[in-house]
Amino acid sequence: MLIDKLRLLDELAAEIKVCPKCRLAETRTQAVPGEGSPTARIMFVGEGPGEKEDLSGRPFIGAAGQFLNSLLAKAEIDRKDVFIANVVKCRPPGNRDPLADEIEACNDYLMAQIAIIEPKIICPLGSPSLRTLLGPDLKISKVRCKVFRKNGILYIPLYHPAAALHRQELQTTLLQDIMVLKELINRDILEEEITDLTPRIGVECAPEKAPEAVQPEAIKAEPVKPAESQTLSLF
């Protein structure tokens, strides 16, 4: 199983490194497939490589990466136990946000990585990753550190570490959020804490029917049983 995952990730990385699918291939130094454990329970997904990542071929090794490392340490998460990737695998010029067609060109690679690794939790880092993975209408400021489920995987969005480096007040927020993440991954998450975003394909509402008249004597009270909270065990 582990050997198969390693082989598949290596084959995918080799394909990414020579990818010609979008304009970013014309300006990159190196593509940055991602790195980490092939059996990671947690996956962090940023938006795209920066200058240092472009030069080295490794994700999150610049200032934002150093900040991410410090956050992981505070949450007692070992970087080698997670997988870190981006929605685009090549650096956008000037570190601009990736464009929609660039994200679309790279999306199959990201989906393949998720399918191979099968993480229990994915943390989208920042708005481009959030919109790519969970939907275009979501805002990171509104949904950060909340728990979503989509196609069987739990998602916990966080601010991008680079945003916190540019906005001092976000550093405290991100530190608080990473401690919430620590708490969530070390306990069972209640079902009522999760917002399910899994698409409901092919399900149609039945047409409404006019209610039938019911005689008062036909109505019987049923005893109400207290609801039981359901939990979802991650690990």
Annotated domain spans of the chain: 2-186
The pLDDT tens digits for 76-113 are 999 999 999 999 999 999 999 999 999 999 999 999 99
In this prediction the pTM is 0.85
Q: Name every residue whose Cβ is closer than 8 Å to that of residue 102 and which is 6 or more positions away in sequence.
A: 22, 23, 24, 88, 92
The pLDDT score that the predictor gives to residue 183 is 95
Higher-scoring residue by pLDDT: 11, 210: 11
Which CATH superfamily includes the segment(s) 2-186?
A: Uracil-DNA glycosylase-like domain (3.40.470.10)
Distances (CA, A) of 111 to 35, 60, 116: 15, 20, 9
Q: pLDDT tens, 205-224?
A: 444 444 454 444 444 444 44
Residue 226 has pLDDT above 80, yes or no: no
Strands 153-155, 147-150: pairing is: antiparallel
pLDDT of residue 199: 85
